[in-house]
Amino acid sequence: MTLLVLGVSHRSAPLRILDRLALTQDEADQLAADVTTTDAIAEAIVVSTCNRVEVYADVTRFHPAVAEIATQLSKATGADRATLLDHSYVHFDSAAVAHLFSVAAGLDSMVVGEAQILGQVRAALVRGQDHGTAGRALNRVVQRGLRVGKRVHAETGIDRSGQSVVSVALAAAADEVGDLAQCRVLVVGAGSMGALAVATLAAHGGSDVVVANRTRSAGEHIAASVTGGRAVDLAGLAGELGRADVAVFCTGAQDLVLGADALAEARVDRREPLVVLDLALPHDTDPAIAELPGVTRIDLAWLAAHPAAAASEADVAAARRLVADEVAAHLADVAGQQVEPTLVSLRAHAGGVIDDEMARLRLRLAAADDATMAEVERAMRRAFARLLHNPTVRMKQLAAEPGGDRYAAALSALFDLDPALPASMLDPATDLDAPDGAR
């Protein structure tokens, strides 16, 4: 496969642009389906989060694939194609693999080291498989990326502080209103980010927590994780805003959930300060609410401009080294697979030579018993195995180097091999790739 990624993230575009590119889950799935209608793209998945939208694709032609992805992303979001390309990045082949592994490891996140992205990448792959846009090629590289992400979190201290966009935002709110355990906190939205907000509050001893959601049962499920937590539907939002000290918005709605006039009306009789954390993309709240007396609004743009020290330089460096090693190992595996047909053909050729020689021996040594002939054949196969072992290992190593395909071509020319011949030509009971004593 040849991996391509085209994306826009908090690193390449301001939040006002990301706002316009936000996709619902259904829209992301449809985008993956749309880009795979072209011959240049065999498979695709879309990773869409609060601070990135990325299309990962297995492609056969670079330029047509980039053009198609840009066109379909523009169509899906309504964003101007030129503006989109001005703020996008494209990675191809080894660079795309490195980017995927870095994203899965949390190295490219707004809060470096956060682990939520692992689940988001995994969910994108599962949806792609369910909808038929992701097959063997993407499954292999994304699954490896997920394993890399897990290794980074297990073997480095990159997430020792347990930071996430949610935890950093709540810490910023605490700077404004004091100990959150003593505050009334309203969480609007019962998705993964809402659940993470409630879990974070519970871990810090919060008890006066209300979850407002369009589907009240989903809110009740999350609120139950907090002692004293409760849930309301969105019809009760105004009343809860009138009592809250902190309000966390993370609904995933495509339109504004809270306007300035509505908030002013909800808090007409309240003078205590309110911190609104808008962690949605597109944003849930009107930026104008920050102009209301006593209201502080913190959104993703604010968080991007105030990065938290989620990991030390040493931990980040260790994570980057691990990612680089995994990228090299993956590329070596892929290169080895590409020369495997030539190696299979070589082993089949060797097996054919042995078969021919054994047939001649049986005619010339008709008096020899079966046990003797069987021992002769085993000796011949062991000799061929020893001769082929080092060249086979070295071929796989050389395949990972620049121009490695030339070695496979040279081998084919020297032995007049045909890698297109079926592997079944080689006797499955014979392992000519194993060194003497390995069987």
Examine the pLDDT at 413 and tell me if it is beyond 90. Answer: no
Please indicate, yes or no, if residue 99 is contained in any of the structural domains: yes
pLDDT category, 66, cuts 50, 70, 90? very high
Contact criterion met (CB below 8 Å) for 285 and 257: yes
- With contact defined as beta carbons under 8 Å apart, do 231 and 222 qualify? yes
The H-or-E segment that residue 317 falls in is helix 313-364
Residue 160 lies in a domain: no
Do 284 and 347 lie in a common domain?
no
Last residue of a domain, one of 155, 171, 197: 155
Residue 113 pLDDT class (50, 70, 90 cuts): confident
**Calpha distance 147→151 (Å, rounded):** 6
**Mean pLDDT computed over 395-409:** 74
Selected residue with higher pLDDT from 404 and 427: 404
More confident residue, 313 or 130: 130
- Domain-ending residue, one of 305, 323, 346: 305
Domain CATH number, residue 89 = 3.30.460.30
pLDDT digits (tens, 9 = 90+) for 221-255: 999 988 889 999 998 899 999 999 999 999 988 88
Q: Give the burial string for 143-161 (b: 16+ CB within 10 Å, else e).
A: ebbbebbebbbeebebbeb
Residue 395 pLDDT more than 90? no
Tell me, yes or no, whether 277 and 375 share the same domain. Answer: no
Q: Does 173 fall in a domain? A: no
**CA nearest to 310, candidates 105, 19, 16:** 105
Asked which of 139, 155, 171 is the last residue of a domain, the reply is: 155
- For the chain, the average pLDDT equals 88
Residue 27 sits in the same domain as residue 125: yes
Task: Convert the pLDDT of each residue in 319-338 to its tens digit.
Answer: 999 999 999 888 887 776 77
Residues 21, 150 within the same domain: yes
Range of the domain at 356: 334-425
Q: Quote the Cα angle for 419-421-425, to 5°.
A: 120
The HSE-up count of residue 118 (CA atoms within 13 Å, CB side) is: 19
Place of tokens 């993230």: 9
- pLDDT band for position 426 (50/70/90)? very low
pLDDT at 349: 81
Q: Are 7 and 151 within one domain? A: yes
Residue 20 — very low, low, confident or very high, per pLDDT cuts 50/70/90?
Answer: confident
141 and 20 in a single domain? The answer is yes
Same domain, 239 and 344: no
Q: What is the CATH number of the domain that holds 276?
A: 3.40.50.720
Q: Beta 185-188 vs 209-213: how paired, if at all?
A: parallel
User: Other C-beta atoms within 10 Å of 416: how many?
Assistant: 8
Same domain, 10 and 42: yes
Out of 1, 3, 41, 50, the active site residue is 50
Structural domain tally of the chain?
3
**Is 50 an annotated catalytic residue?**
yes
Whether residues 295 and 353 fall in one domain: no
Q: Tens digits of per-residue pLDDT, 131-154?
A: 999 999 999 999 999 999 999 999
On whether residue 344 sits in a domain, the answer given is yes
User: Do both 26 and 151 map to the same domain?
Assistant: yes
Cα–Cα dist 31/437, whole Å = 53
Mean pLDDT of 49-71: 95
Helices (H), 242-299: 260-266
| Rounded Cα–Cα distance for residues 121 and 108 (Å) | 13
- Tell whether 406 is covered by a domain: yes
Q: Considering the domain boundaries, does residue 122 fall inside one?
A: yes
In a shared domain, residues 79 and 134: yes
Please check whether residue 85 lies inside any domain of the structure: yes
If asked whether residues 339 and 299 sit together in one domain, one would say no
In a domain, 434, yes or no: no
Is the backbone of residue 206 left (phi > 0), alpha (psi -120 to 50) or beta?
beta
For the segment 170-197, the average pLDDT, to the nearest whole number, is 92
Answer yes or no: are the C-beta atoms of 111 and 51 closer than 8 Å: no
Lowest mean pLDDT among 98-107, 246-255, 416-425: 416-425
